[in-house]
Amino acid sequence: MNFSEIGRQVRANRLHQGMTQEQLAERTGLSAPYISHIERAVKHPSLEALVRIAAALDLTLDRLLAGNQSADRYAYFSEVQALLEDCSPLERRVLRDVAATVKESLRQNLGAA
């Protein structure tokens, strides 16, 4: 398992919900320092801790773990969603167009499928 990616997912989803580490700790019954350690991949959470965190963030466990596998088609969705969250319609359209152009260029130049 990629514990750095799990930590990033926990942090991104926590921040997306406007929650502090202390609030997440209260909702999970875990300590705030432990939440911090998970987010920084200092400690590797147990399955039980991940289930508690996912429930507190109102996510399924598989959604929390999204992006943990290199072939995961939903990897980085939450980060992109967070990036677009406060954008105007014009900013979203421009970012979509930029992403489409970069994707096309990558596929042409790197031979990606």
Specify whether 18 is located in the same domain as 38.
yes
Torsion angle, CA of 23/26/27/31, rounded to 10 degrees?
100
* pLDDT tens digits, one per residue of 12-52: 999 999 999 999 999 999 999 999 999 999 999 999 999 99
Number of domains into which the chain is organized? 2
Cα(12)–Cα(39) distance, integer angstroms: 9
Q: Which two tokens stand for residue 47?
A: 């399955």
Specify whether 57 is located in the same domain as 12.
yes
Specify whether 90 is located in the same domain as 102.
yes
* pLDDT tens digits, one per residue of 73-96: 666 777 788 889 999 999 999 999
- Placement of tokens 């289930």 in the chain: 51
Specify whether 97 is located in the same domain as 110.
yes
71 has pLDDT over 70: no
Q: Which two tokens stand for residue 111?
A: 């031979």
pTM of the predicted protein model: 0.62
Specify whether 23 is located in the same domain as 65.
yes
The CATH number given to whatever domain includes residue 22 is 1.10.260.40
Specify whether 60 is located in the same domain as 90.
no
Contact 73, 66 (CB under 8 A): no
113 has pLDDT over 60: no
- What is the span of the domain harbouring residue 52? 1-74
